[in-house]
C-alpha cells in the first residue's frame, strides 16, 4: 500500500509540473518538487528521536 501511494504521489507531481511551470516558471516547479524530500527528511529526523528507534537500530544512532 505504501509503495502504491508513493507511485501515485509521483505520478500526480509529474503531471502537475507543466501547470506549475506555466504559472510560476521552473523555479516554482522545482520548489514544488523539493517539498517531498524536505518532508521526508523531517519525518526521518523525528523518527530518529523516538526511543523505539534506538531499540530497532540495536543501540546505534
Predicted local distance difference test score (pLDDT) of residue 58: 80
Q: pLDDT of 17-61, one tens digit each?
A: 999 999 999 999 999 999 999 999 999 999 888 888 888 888 776
Domain ranges of the chain: 2-56
pTM: 0.69
CA angle centred on 51, ends 48 and 56, rounded to 5°: 75
Q: Phi and psi dihedrals of 16, rounded to 5?
A: -80, -20
Sign of CA dihedral 13, 19, 25, 26: positive
d(C-alpha 59, C-alpha 35), whole Å? 31
Amino acid at each position: 500500500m505504501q509503495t502504491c501511494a508513493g507511485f501515485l504521489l509521483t505520478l500526480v507531481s509529474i503531471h502537475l509540473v507543466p501547470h506549475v511551470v506555466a504559472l510560476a516558471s521552473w523555479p516554482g516547479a522545482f520548489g514544488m518538487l523539493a517539498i517531498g524530500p524536505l518532508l521526508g527528511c523531517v519525518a526521518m529526523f523525528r523518527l530518529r528521536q523516538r526511543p523505539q528507534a534506538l531499540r530497532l537500530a540495536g543501540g546505534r544512532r
